[in-house]
């Protein structure tokens, strides 16, 4: 069976500091990978998705970036955090096959920027 | 452009009541997928169901049932005999076929409180 891991679970960072959130998937190959942000009391906003190593599509212009150095590893980064970057960050994966589009989510990282 | 509207922000029911969560969607694509996800207090989204645009058959899974009506662009979710463990935020989502399923749009969510 497949599992998805995210860390850290919670993070408190000062404004202007860097960020690195990591997500890994086990039990599948060539997954599609996604980063979402959920602001307090809001829905999910797609930030990035990736269909393969080194392939990143950005959905929302911002000071965040994503990388996929390995098939089952997805990293969300920032060089300088803003207050508005606070939120709940969710990583998700889906099978890399057409017609199978449901996504499976990790436990999330709660980021507070002070 | 695709859009998902969940007009009910919060719903509060007493245990054993039936409750329906509404979802209305907009899309210009003829092939699309609809989803429901559950987000319990722990925060992790749990996939509940996917419906393809060419399959309007309603579905029942235990106490959960889904009513998909293309004529009204709705995909409503009913919980029968609700339980406290059903308390969560529920999201309806839409993915258009021409995006390969990558660009899934989520509604704002409906927070369900089930009181004992």
Contacting residues of B for A23, CB less than 8 Å apart: none
Which of A43, A94, A107 minimises the CB distance to B101?
A94
Across the interface, whether the CB atoms of B106 and A108 are under 8 A apart is answered no
Question: Which residue of chain B has the CA closest to A6?
Answer: B44
Pairing of strands B10-14, A19-26: unpaired
Q: Which of B19, B17, B18, B21 is nearest to B7 (CA)?
A: B21
Q: Taking CB atoms and an 8 Å cutoff, what residues of chain A touch B105? A: 46
Predicted pLDDT at A2: 87
Which positions in chain B touch A88 (Cβ < 8 Å)? 43
Query: Residue B36, Cβ neighbours under 10 Å: how many?
Result: 22
pLDDT tens string A41-80: 778 999 999 988 999 988 886 789 999 999 999 999 999 9
Residue B71 scores a pLDDT above 90: yes
Q: What is the pLDDT of residues A9-48, one digit of tens each?
A: 999 999 999 999 999 999 988 899 999 999 877 789 999 9
pLDDT tens readout for residues B84-101: 999 999 999 999 877 766
């Amino acid at each position: 069976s497949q599992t998805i891991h995210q860390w850290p679970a919670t993070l408190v960072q000062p404004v202007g500091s860097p960020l690195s959130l990591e997500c890994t998937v086990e039990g599948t190959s060539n997954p599609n990978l996604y980063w979402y942000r959920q602001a307090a009391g809001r829905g999910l906003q797609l930030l990035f998705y990736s269909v393969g190593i080194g392939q990143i599509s950005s959905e929302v212009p911002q000071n965040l970036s994503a990388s996929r150095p390995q098939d089952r590893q997805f990293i969300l980064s920032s060089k300088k955090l803003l207050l508005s970057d606070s939120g709940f960050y969710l990583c998700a994966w889906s099978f890399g096959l057409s017609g199978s589009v449901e996504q499976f989510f990790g436990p999330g990282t709660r980021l507070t920027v002070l | 452009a695709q859009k998902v509207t969940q007009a009910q922000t919060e719903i509060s029911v007493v245990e054993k009541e039936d409750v329906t969560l509404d979802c209305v969607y907009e899309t210009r694509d003829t092939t699309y997928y609809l989803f429901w996800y559950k987000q319990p207090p722990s925060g992790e989204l749990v996939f509940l169901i996917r419906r393809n645009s060419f399959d309007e058959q309603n579905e029942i899974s235990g106490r959960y049932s889904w009513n998909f009506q293309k004529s009204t662009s709705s995909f409503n979710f009913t919980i029968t005999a609700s339980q406290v463990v059903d308390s969560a935020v529920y999201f309806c989502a839409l993915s258009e076929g021409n995006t390969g399923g990558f660009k899934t749009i989520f509604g704002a969510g409906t927070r369900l409180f089930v009181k004992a």
